[in-house]
């Protein structure tokens, strides 16, 4: 298991746009700056993109959520989420 939280850049981008939409661009950028040194961030490889795509058919998961699941699986990490679509499927 990783020593610090692992997150896909796809999901950090999702956090940034949600924060910007709800608050401001400055707050979103500040949050990304604060999170970067605390996370192991990964750019999705071809294999990760295809794994996320494999998780999607027949499931109500958003594609970004599938990246979160695929990233957790790839790192043998526990997926921490409050996303009801992920929790309902318990994929990782």
25-68 tens-digit pLDDT: 999 999 999 999 999 999 999 999 999 999 888 777 889 999 99
Is 14's pLDDT higher than 60?
Answer: yes
- SS3 of the chain: CCCCCEEEHHHHHHHHHHHHHHCCHHHHHHHHHHHHHHCEEECCCHHHHHHHHHHCCCCCCCHHHHHHHHHHHHHCCCCCCCCHHHHHHCCC
Please indicate, yes or no, whether the overall pTM of this predicted structure exceeds 0.85: no
User: How confident is the model at residue 58, as a pLDDT?
Assistant: 76
């Amino acid at each position: 298991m990783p020593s610090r939280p692992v997150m896909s850049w796809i999901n950090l981008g999702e956090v940034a746009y949600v924060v910007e939409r709800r608050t401001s661009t400055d707050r979103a950028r500040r949050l990304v700056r604060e999170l970067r040194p605390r996370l192991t961030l990964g750019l999705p490889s071809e294999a990760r993109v295809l794994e996320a795509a494999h998780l999607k058919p027949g499931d109500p998961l958003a594609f970004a959520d599938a990246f979160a699941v695929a990233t957790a699986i790839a790192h043998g990490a526990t997926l921490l989420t409050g996303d009801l679509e992920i929790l309902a499927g318990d994929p990782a």
